[in-house]
């Protein structure tokens, strides 16, 4: 059983840090997943018999780490899901991309139309007239440029406005700066087995039952097991 990094917990929600490489829910690999890990944690902590309820209200790709909230009651799950639909849940990411992007205090917007290929489990930027294409928007700010093992990279802070399939990966690959470690979207540079250099470091939302706005921040360089490239932060 994985150690669980809990940032916040009450009777309604639990906020944790997902390590890169762990699936959010059970998949065909059969590897230990976040839902199972948290349910076991709650079962042991509160000595609960039988099945433990845990609501999954948002996701992160397996190879992406970051802050996640899970609902401990169906009421909390319903309310947070509604907040997400209303775009009242804020998520920010740190990413390391290949190549040099100009460092600036200004935010740069990427606005594309993305189409998911279900068969290949991949997405691509397409013309907005394409059937099934969804508008995809993010803003990013370049924090620094650096060299790692002789190659040029940029650290970016991303404000995600829409949550499309593989959106960040697809949009940065589309401008010629794929994420470090992302082989799937055209990055032939890093044919290695490390995780994606993408981390959901900030999460904020209204508590589902209290008149309280919650904010959580956890940087990838705080992880016990991390790719050394994150030491640039």
Mark whether 61 is an active-site residue. Answer: yes
Active-site residue (options: 10, 33, 61, 182): 61
Return the sign of the alpha-carbon dihedral for residues 68, 69, 72, 77: negative
Cβ neighbours of residue 50 closer than 8 Å, sequence gap 6 or more: none
- Degrees to nearest 5, angle at CA 171 with 154 and 160: 85
Q: How many CB atoms lie within 10 A of CB 92?
A: 19
| First and final C-alpha spacing in the chain | 29
Q: Concatenated DSSP letters for 24-73?
A: SS--TT----HHHHHHHHHHHHTT--SPPP-EE-----TT-EEEEEEESS
- What is the DSSP secondary structure assignment for residue 194, as one 8-state letter? P
- Active-site residues, by number, are 61
């Amino acid at each position: 059983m994985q150690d669980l990094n809990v940032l916040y917990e009450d009777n309604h929600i639990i906020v944790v840090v997902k390590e890169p490489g762990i699936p959010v829910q059970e998949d065909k690999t059969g590897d230990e997943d976040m839902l199972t890990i948290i349910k076991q944690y709650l079962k042991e902590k509160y000595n609960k018999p039988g099945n433990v309820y845990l609501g999954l209200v948002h996701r992160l790709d397996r190879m992406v780490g970051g802050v996640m909230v899970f609902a401990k009651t169906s009421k909390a799950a319903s309310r947070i899901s509604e907040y997400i639909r209303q775009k009242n849940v804020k998520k920010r990411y740190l990413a390391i991309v290949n190549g040099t992007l100009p460092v600036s205090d200004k935010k740069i917007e990427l606005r594309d139309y993305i189409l998911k290929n279900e068969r290949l489990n991949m997405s691509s930027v397409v013309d907005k007239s394409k059937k099934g294409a969804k508008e995809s928007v993010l803003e990013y700010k370049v924090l620094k440029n650096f060299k790692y093992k002789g190659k040029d990279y940029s650290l970016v802070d991303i404000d995600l406005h829409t949550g499309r399939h593989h959106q960040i990966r697809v949009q940065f690959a589309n401008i010629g700066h794929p994420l470090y470690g992302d082989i799937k979207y055209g990055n032939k540079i890093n044919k290695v087995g490390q995780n994606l250099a993408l981390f959901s470091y900030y999460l904020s939302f209204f508590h589902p039952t209290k008149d309280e706005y919650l904010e959580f921040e956890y940087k990838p360089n705080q992880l016990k097991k991390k790719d050394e490239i994150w030491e640039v932060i």
